[in-house]
A and B are shown apart, each in its own frame.
Chain A
């Protein structure tokens, strides 16, 4: 005679310390083993896309800040690139360089949050504070330029809201010199820690084919060993001028596409971002940052899809214009939203503790999942 036992259903979130926001995961458990994971989203839905239809093009920019609040500059960047593509605006050289510098600083800041909170999820508290300490320094650079620390409203269609501070270039160089050794510190505390490797290697393996089928982009896709980066594969702005590598997961500690690979791709990307920023700082030309900003933004009738490499992957804006002052339709393709869909696939057969490790490794921002 066999005893019939029921599976326990555990609600993880929306109030839970490590769901990275207001995500609710419905876990079906067999003991501590995961049978099924159902993500429930929508707790942070703000009707961004519908709002956008009622606003003029410049008014939308502050809203794009709030899509992915850890990478506001990248969101501004993507939106500006999309509208400029539709209107055929050529922005000044200086603007392009400043955009790239800010985009990459933002990528470092965002990856620092990802790495730090991942350590927190695994139980290592200290790297988290080290990462945030360094992130604060980046935020101070942003604050010096545009006055805000989180939601910048900095990159406008055709230009920038402000020129950089006269001291910005020097201070950024100083920061990079300070920051480069700090990455090694995080590596020692976290990346090569035996316990950390035990917790993340061979966990949540995402094969390249599955990753592509689910539409994963960014570090999550590259962690599976696919060398795909929009900055290289579909260059926008002036990314084709810089020399940088695209790190991919190589299964050094376990299998290609495990949590450790996804995590470590981010660490390596920080180093590449530093390289890009250094090159850009060397080449940045003098000039004006607001001459190309149109007085009235009225794109011609038509539609356009613009995409940029957000720290979390491909951030795409699909814009339909009817020739008026407001967009007819603005659709956002968020990388976190797509990445979250793979959770159920990755978690099956793992333990509860692994759910946290997997969720942290795909690095979602709920603001962008729900929009």
Chain B
């Protein structure tokens, strides 16, 4: 894709800029859509209608909200650390946006095909932690500080089971490149890693239960990484008001808000990329059977988005069903259960791969 843009514009720099803007064009409407979806999903789960006035079934509601937030006065508390307070939301948004660079949207488009793509995504998500800690500290508010502390402890802890599960897939795939991992799981859904990966044989069937365990661990810890219920402790409304973004208003608040929803999609995309074939269709491509080659990437993009939205929907479903854990219980879940299980899971998968 990068070559195409470079050719079209005749300028490498311009091509690069256009190439890197594509995820942004994708992520902002998507985040806005998720905010709307969250409201509708929660409303229908709770016997309500949700937004109905602004546009058909309220689909313009989030645009209206963002417009309102844009016009709002940008308040910085008197005792806040002004610099950090301003940088924090940008850093958080940058973190979640940067993660999109290594995520393959389809076989034709990936922001940057780097060989350690998944490592990069995990690492760059760490920027969010710094942003959150900055926000909590600079607000000079005790609730913000407590929220930020909890958030940092939580995200860092839950990165470990996430990475261990991803590592087990890396062991099977033999690469860190997300595009290659997705490519491997091509053709039919039984080639997805959740069903033991593309290589046929006995080992494939032996792998399936461990793959399901790995998927559950990854999904649970991804919930914690994006601060969703039952792990939404950093912004536990009933305890900490709004956690680290208590003092934020206007567009700065919107940045946190949008990056939260963008992050939800990032973790869903990773879950689908490593376990559910990423952009791969579960049953072949219409473009291939019709012989229209340009249709295939579009279909792939559709499947990628659909899988992402499905996992985001499950996140919302959980959020509006489950209560919230307490902070020590949250840590217990991570350190006592998820990490040992994911470690054992990794070792077993590695052995199975060794004796394949």
Q: Which of B214-242 contact A (CB under 8 A)?
A: 229-230, 232-233, 236-241
Contact between B146 and A32 (Cβ–Cβ < 8 Å)? yes
CA distance A124 to B142 in the complex (A): 24
Which stretch in A89-97, A192-200, A233-241, A272-280 binds the other chain? A192-200
Contact between A125 and B42 (Cβ–Cβ < 8 Å)? yes
Contact between B323 and A123 (Cβ–Cβ < 8 Å)? yes
Contact between A129 and B322 (Cβ–Cβ < 8 Å)? no
Residue in B42, B45, B236 whose beta carbon sits within 8 Å of that of A123 in the complex: B236
| B320 CB contacts on chain A under 8 angstroms | 125-126
Q: Which of A343-371 contact B (CB under 8 A)?
A: 351-356
Residue in B47, B237, B329 whose beta carbon sits within 8 Å of that of A198 in the complex: B329
Contact between A17 and B237 (Cβ–Cβ < 8 Å)? yes
CA distance A234 to B51 in the complex (A): 50
Asked if B9 is an interface residue, CB under 8 A from chain A, the answer is no
In the complex, the chain A residue whose C-beta lies closest to that of B230 is A195
Q: Shortest Cβ distance from A175 into chain B, in angstroms? A: 16
CA distance A68 to B46 in the complex (A): 28
In the complex, the chain A residue whose C-beta lies closest to that of B47 is A133
| B146 CB contacts on chain A under 8 angstroms | 10, 32, 352
| B232 CB contacts on chain A under 8 angstroms | 123
Asked if A141 is an interface residue, CB under 8 A from chain B, the answer is no
Q: Which of A116-174 contact B (CB under 8 A)?
A: 119-126, 129-130, 133
Known A-B contacts A122-B324, A123-B230, A193-B323; the reply to A129 vs B237 at CB < 8 A is: no
Asked if A113 is an interface residue, CB under 8 A from chain B, the answer is no
Contact between A198 and B45 (Cβ–Cβ < 8 Å)? no
Contact between A195 and B328 (Cβ–Cβ < 8 Å)? no
In the complex, the chain A residue whose C-beta lies closest to that of B322 is A195
20 chain-A/chain-B pairs, Cβ below 8 angstroms:
A8-B142, A17-B237, A18-B238, A32-B146, A119-B323, A120-B238, A122-B238, A122-B324, A123-B232, A123-B237, A124-B324, A125-B42, A125-B46, A126-B45, A129-B46, A133-B47, A189-B321, A196-B323, A199-B325, A353-B239
Asked if A16 is an interface residue, CB under 8 A from chain B, the answer is yes
Q: Which 9 A-B pairs have the closest CB atoms?
A: A123-B324, A18-B238, A124-B323, A129-B46, A122-B323, A123-B323, A353-B326, A121-B238, A195-B323
Known A-B contacts A130-B46, A133-B47; the reply to A195 vs B238 at CB < 8 A is: no
Q: Spell out A's residues near B (CB within 8 Å).
A: 8, 10, 16-18, 32, 119-126, 129-130, 133, 189-190, 193, 195-196, 198-199, 351-356
Contact between B322 and A124 (Cβ–Cβ < 8 Å)? yes
Known A-B contacts A122-B323, A123-B229, A123-B232; the reply to A352 vs B47 at CB < 8 A is: no
CA distance A196 to B46 in the complex (A): 19
- Chain B: interface size category: 20 to 34
CA distance A190 to B233 in the complex (A): 18
| B319 CB contacts on chain A under 8 angstroms | 125
Known A-B contacts A129-B48, A352-B146, A356-B239; the reply to A32 vs B327 at CB < 8 A is: yes
Contact between B46 and A17 (Cβ–Cβ < 8 Å)? no
CA distance A351 to B326 in the complex (A): 9
CA distance A126 to B47 in the complex (A): 9
Q: Shortest Cβ distance from A239 into chain B, in angstroms? A: 34
- The main secondary structure of chain A at its interface with chain B is helix
CA distance A129 to B47 in the complex (A): 8
Contact between A198 and B241 (Cβ–Cβ < 8 Å)? no
| A189 CB contacts on chain B under 8 angstroms | 321
| A129 CB contacts on chain B under 8 angstroms | 46-48
Q: Shortest Cβ distance from B237 into chain A, in angstroms? A: 6
Q: Shortest Cβ distance from A28 into chain B, in angstroms? A: 12
Q: Mark B315-344, 1 if CB is under 8 A from A, else 0.
A: 000011111111111000000000000000
Q: Shortest Cβ distance from B242 into chain A, in angstroms? A: 9
| B325 CB contacts on chain A under 8 angstroms | 195, 198-199
| A193 CB contacts on chain B under 8 angstroms | 322-323
Known A-B contacts A123-B232, A125-B42, A195-B230; the reply to A356 vs B322 at CB < 8 A is: no
| A126 CB contacts on chain B under 8 angstroms | 42, 45-46, 320-321
Contact between B238 and A356 (Cβ–Cβ < 8 Å)? yes
| A32 CB contacts on chain B under 8 angstroms | 146, 327
CA distance A356 to B327 in the complex (A): 13
Q: Mark B153-182, 1 if CB is under 8 A from A, else 0.
A: 000000000000000000000000000000
| B230 CB contacts on chain A under 8 angstroms | 123, 195
Q: Shortest Cβ distance from A26 into chain B, in angstroms? A: 12
| A123 CB contacts on chain B under 8 angstroms | 229-230, 232, 236-238, 322-324
Q: Shortest Cβ distance from A311 into chain B, in angstroms? A: 22
Known: A193-B323, A351-B327, A356-B238. 11 other contacts (CB 8 A): A18-B238, A120-B238, A122-B324, A123-B236, A123-B237, A124-B321, A125-B46, A190-B323, A195-B230, A351-B326, A353-B327
| B241 CB contacts on chain A under 8 angstroms | 16-17
CA distance A126 to B318 in the complex (A): 11
Contact between B323 and A199 (Cβ–Cβ < 8 Å)? yes
| B327 CB contacts on chain A under 8 angstroms | 32, 351, 353
| B237 CB contacts on chain A under 8 angstroms | 17-18, 123
In the complex, the chain B residue whose C-beta lies closest to that of A357 is B326
Residue in A8, A17, A198, A351 whose beta carbon sits within 8 Å of that of B238 in the complex: A17
| A119 CB contacts on chain B under 8 angstroms | 323
Q: Shortest Cβ distance from A16 into chain B, in angstroms? A: 7
Q: Shortest Cβ distance from B167 into chain A, in angstroms? A: 29
Q: Shortest Cβ distance from A347 into chain B, in angstroms? A: 13
Residue in A16, A124, A351, A355 whose beta carbon sits within 8 Å of that of B328 in the complex: A351
CA distance A15 to B57 in the complex (A): 33
Q: Shortest Cβ distance from B340 into chain A, in angstroms? A: 19
| A125 CB contacts on chain B under 8 angstroms | 42, 46, 319-320
CA distance A319 to B143 in the complex (A): 45
In the complex, the chain B residue whose C-beta lies closest to that of A190 is B323
CA distance A196 to B230 in the complex (A): 10
